[in-house]
Each structure stands twice: as C-alpha cells, then as structure tokens.
C-alpha cells in the first residue's frame, strides 16, 4: 500500500476558477491588464493599438501568423499585437492558436481581454468565443506543486462582444472543454506515487460524481471474481492494488451507445522486462493518459448536452518488477477466456485493455473506442503531434478522424493488416503479447482485436502525443493529456456507424 503521506492534491489546476465574461469594449479597457489586437500582414493596424504599420515594422513586427508584440501604455491595458498573417483560410484552430500565443506573450498579466473578430476569421461568434476561451485557458494552465502553487496564473478572461448571448454560449462551451482538458493534464502530470490506481479511482469518484456520472469502482477481489486475468497479471509485481473504474453517462433516449476504454498504467517500469533508465522511462508516469482522457472527457458530456450514452472503463495499475511479478512465459487467462503467453512484461498495455474490451462487448454497444499509450512504434511513426488509429469499422475510424481534425488533436489511420496476426501465435496458448520487431503498432492493435467479438471498434494509440518536449500554442510541455478534446468531440458528433468492416 501507499505508505507516503498524501503530500499534495493530484489535480491542483482544477481548483482554481478563472472568471470568463462577455463584456463591452469600454469595460474590458477599464478592467483588463492586457488586450489582444489582431493585425494582418502588411495592413495598417486598428487605431486602438496606438501605433501604425511603420511603428510596428520598426519593432520587427510584420503581422506574420502567430507573431506577438507587447506595446506598453501609460494608460489602460497593454496592447498585444497578434499577427494573423494573410486574411483568408482561417478557422477555429487558428483562432485557438492565436489566442494561446497572446496569453503566452503576457505571462505575468492576470486579466486578459480579447475582442471577438469572427468575421475576419470566417467563424461564427460562438465558435470564435469558444476557441479564444480554450486557447487562453489552456495556454495558461500549469501543473505546479511547489511553494507558490496556490497562486492562480490567470484571474479573468474578458471576451469583448456586442452579441452577448451567442458569445456567452461559446464561452461556456470553451470553459467546459478547457476544464476537462485541464483535468486530463493534471492527472497525466501527477507523479505515479501520489496518483496510485487507488487514488485515481478516488479522483474518478469525486469528479465523475460532480459531473453527473455513475461511478463504480472494482477492487482486486472483484476483478478476481470477474476473471480479469490481464489487469491482475500486470498488477502482480506491484505493492499498489489495481482498480477498474466504470463510468456511465446515461442521457434520456440516447441516440447511440459508446464504450470508451482507457489504459491506466499509473507507472510503467516495464516489469521484469525492465525499461532502461532513460528519458522515455522517466516519462512513464504518463502511461495512464488514455484513462485520464476517458475520465476527463466524460466529465464534460452532461454540460455539453451529449445525446449518446457513454460507458467508460479505466484500467488502473502499476507495472512493476518484484518477486511476485509476472514471469516471461507465464500464461494469463483473460476475461473472455482467451489465454495469453506473456513473452515481454513491458507489453502490458494490451493485457490490461483486453479485459475491458471483453467486458464492453458484453453489453449492447454501437461502437467501442480504446485509447492507450500503447507502443513506442507509434511515437516513431507519427512523432508527438499525431495519434495513430486502427479499427475494424471504417465508420468509427472516420468519425474519430473528423473529430480530431475539428479540435486539433489529429489522428491518422494505420492499416490493420491481418496477415501480421500470425506474429502473435503462441505454441502453448491462444496468443502471445509480443509481435515481431517491426509494425509494432499494428500487431498491438491486432492483439486488441481478439477481444472485441466483432463489434464496431477503433483503437487510438497516443504513445507519441502523450508528452511534448516544448509548449506550442495551447499545448503544454510534459504530459499533455492528449485525447480529452478528441473523445468529447467524438461523443458529441457520434452517429451509429454505417461503415463496413475495415
């Protein structure tokens, strides 16, 4: 059991509330300490900037997309020129990015203001307000548990608009999405000893309950009774007990039924197949980012009016080496009766996911989506900005791709090439957990497919996107919590898949 004191709150950023309000320009000028002013390339800037094109150019500001310049003033808020580049080909993604650049340009200012300029960007007032809210709140999010942890980095965001109702609706959606992402990031960044599987389940009960979800927590004895040999096998080396959390969002007259399954390996040492003590090992507290994204996204569903029913499974355990750990060559019996010969204890993600996939198929469901930091091969393939997706149903895969595009969490499909399935053949069991050296992301997905009983399914591999080496626009450095926005959007737009087998 966890013997250290509970030294800090695992989800600190969710405790402070940033005030986001729609106000007239005069009020923003009185209250804000920094005001964003969009400036197109080579065009005279609006008067409120207090300087002209020549003045900007003399300071090296050309209006290039994403460029910022802070202009001090004797009176009122500092003006921040934000380059929008050439007009045209703009969308909500650009608005979100530029709002984030603005927020990062004035890191010490606590009251920011942005004027709605939806026409310039070809998006609706509501979408503009939502994108600004997300961009600013997420750019200014931070995970910090040191001395001034209580100091909020941002107090208020003022959205300047005349049409308050439409703008306010966008602000509200942006606030809900940003809060969910912040939760996902907090969980991903919290150290593994503080955020054990037990603690993760406690957080799920707290935030899930507050968001109107039904939360069921399954302990080790219950998992034994349920025959969940995958998560139990992985847990064997750990002194921390496992937890499975099942979350349910149940709207009246649902328009579809989705199951979301998240890998919650709270810390992946590799087990007996111990990882080397390199940089990638040092990031393995984020091996629960899939579970974080499932939990975080589900906290937003009620408030965003999702009409599909969603059941979430968080598969939470450490993967540790010890005298009681899984041995190479051991055979596990999974929830659906499949036997698996463990040839590498570091391929543990597929083992914990298998039990939940099998459980998800036992109830009526229109689509199963799993999300996991599953393979280093996916990081090699796509880098840190694109997640991989594979599945047995082109409709589910396509809905994920579209959702990812629209929220700027891109996913790209790899082929689920079935002839590679023979790489998972075992001499003594139904399959092994280890494919060959090549196409590791694909063989991992083929392993998962053994547990979905032909139901429409897609698997999202976020091993690459789970961490970023440097911040970029609204994306943070470190453990990112990638997937929260993707899953929210997928659930909101969900339509029963008509697509055939992929």
Binding site for ligand BES (CB under 6 A): 268, 280, 287, 344, 346-349, 373-377, 379, 434, 440, 463, 466
- Pairing mode, strands 387-391 and 411-413: parallel
- SS3 category, 88: coil
| φ and ψ at residue 205, rounded to 5 degrees | -65, -40
Which of the choices Zn ion, ligand BES, none does residue 234 contact, using the CB cut-off of 5 to 8 A by kind?
none
DSSP per residue, 466-493: TEESS-BTTBPSEE--TTHHHHHHHHHH
275 is catalytic: yes
Residue 68 CB coordination number (10 Å)? 18
Alpha helices in 106-227 (DSSP H): 118-121, 125-139, 164-189, 197-210, 220-225
Residue 408, phi-psi category: left (phi > 0), alpha (psi -120 to 50), beta (remainder):
left
Query: Please, are residues 483 and 293 in contact by the beta-carbon 8 Å criterion?
Result: yes
Q: Which of residues 284-343 bind Zn ion (CB under 5 A)?
A: 287
Comparing CA positions, the residue from 374, 406, 409 lying closest to residue 390 is: 374
Please state the closest distance from residue 482 (CB atom) to ligand BES, in A: 11
In the complex with ligand BES, the residue whose CB is nearer, 97 or 348, is 348
Which of the choices Zn ion, ligand BES, none does residue 463 contact, using the CB cut-off of 5 to 8 A by kind?
ligand BES
Which of the choices Zn ion, ligand BES, none does residue 280 contact, using the CB cut-off of 5 to 8 A by kind?
ligand BES
Does 370 interact with Zn ion (rule: CB under 5 A)? no
> Which residues face 21 on adjacent strands?
158
In the complex with Zn ion, the residue whose CB is nearer, 142 or 285, is 285
Active-site residue, from 104, 110, 248, 275 = 275
Please state the closest distance from residue 411 (CB atom) to ligand BES, in A: 16
Please state the closest distance from residue 371 (CB atom) to ligand BES, in A: 12
In the complex with ligand BES, the residue whose CB is nearer, 338 or 373, is 373
In the complex with ligand BES, the residue whose CB is nearer, 141 or 267, is 267
Residue 250, phi-psi category: left (phi > 0), alpha (psi -120 to 50), beta (remainder):
beta
CB within 8 Å of 89: residues ≥ 6 apart: none
Please state the closest distance from residue 268 (CB atom) to Zn ion, in A: 4
Comparing CA positions, the residue from 303, 459, 462, 319 lying closest to residue 396 is: 459
Q: Which of residues 45-84 bind Zn ion (CB under 5 A)?
A: none
Among 172, 268, 341, 355, binds Zn ion (CB under 5 A): 268
111 is catalytic: no
For residue 484 the two structure tokens come to 């929260």
In the complex with ligand BES, the residue whose CB is nearer, 196 or 375, is 375
Q: Which of residues 349-368 bind Zn ion (CB under 5 A)?
A: 349
Active-site residue, from 173, 185, 350, 401 = 350
* Catalytic residue set: 275, 350
Note the residues at the interface with Zn ion (CB under 5 A). Answer: 265, 268, 287, 346, 348-349
């Amino acid at each position: 059991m966890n013997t250290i004191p509970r030294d800090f709150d695992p989800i600190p950023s969710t405790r402070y509330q940033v005030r986001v309000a729609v106000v007239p320009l005069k009020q923003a000028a009185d209250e804000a300490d920094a005001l964003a002013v969009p400036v197109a390339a080579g065009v005279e800037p609006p008067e409120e900037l207090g300087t002209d094109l020549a003045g900007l150019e003399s300071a090296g500001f050309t209006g290039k997309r994403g460029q910022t310049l802070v202009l001090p003033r004797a009176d009122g808020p500092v003006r921040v020129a934000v380059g929008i580049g050439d007009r045209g080909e703009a969308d909500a993604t650009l608005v979100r990015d530029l709002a984030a650049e603005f927020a990062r340009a004035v890191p010490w200012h606590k009251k920011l203001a942005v004027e709605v300029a939806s026409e310039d960007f070809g998006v609706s007032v509501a979408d503009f307000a939502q994108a600004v809210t997300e961009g600013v709140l997420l750019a200014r999010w931070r995970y910090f548990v040191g001395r001034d942890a209580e100091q909020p980095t941002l107090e208020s965001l003022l959205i300047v608009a005349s049409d308050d109702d439409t703008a306010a609706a966008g602000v509200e959606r942006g606030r809900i999405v940003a809060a969910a992402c912040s939760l996902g990031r907090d969980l991903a960044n919290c150290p593994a000893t503080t955020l054990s599987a037990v603690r993760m389940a406690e957080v799920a009960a707290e935030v899930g309950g507050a968001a109107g979800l039904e939360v069921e927590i399954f302990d080790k004895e219950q998992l034994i009774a349920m025959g969940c040999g995958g998560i139990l096998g992985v847990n064997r080396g750990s002194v921390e007990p496992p937890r499975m959390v099942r979350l349910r969002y149940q709207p009246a007259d649902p328009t579809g039924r989705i199951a979301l399954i998240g890998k919650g390996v709270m810390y992946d040492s590799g087990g007996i197949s111990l990882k080397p003590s390199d940089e990638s090992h040092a990031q393995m507290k984020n091996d629960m980012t899939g579970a974080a994204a499932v939990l975080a996204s589900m906290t937003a569903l009620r408030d965003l009016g999702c009409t599909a029913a969603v059941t979430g499974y968080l598969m939470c355990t450490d993967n540790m080496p010890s005298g009681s750990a899984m041995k190479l060559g051991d055979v596990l019996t999974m929830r659906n009766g499949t036997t698996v010969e463990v040839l590498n204890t570091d391929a543990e993600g597929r083992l914990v996911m298998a039990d939940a996939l099998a459980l998800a198929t036992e109830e009526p469901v229109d689509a199963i989506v799993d999300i996991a930091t599953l393979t280093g091969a996916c990081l090699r393939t796509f880098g840190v900005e694109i997640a991989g997706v594979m599945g047995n149903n082109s409709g589910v895969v396509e809905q994920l791709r579209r959702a990812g595009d629209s929220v700027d969490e891109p996913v790209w499909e790899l082929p689920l090439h079935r002839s590679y399935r023979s790489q998972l053949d075992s001499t003594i069991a139904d399959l092994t957990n280890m494919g060959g050296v090549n196409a590791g992301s694909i063989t991992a997905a083929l392993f998962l497919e053994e547990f979905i009983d032909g139901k429409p399914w897609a698997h999202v591999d976020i091993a690459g996107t789970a961490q970023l080496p440097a911040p970029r626009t609204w994306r943070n450095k470190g453990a990112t919590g990638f997937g929260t926005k993707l899953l929210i959007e997928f659930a909101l737009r969900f339509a029963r898949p008509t697509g055939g087998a992929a």
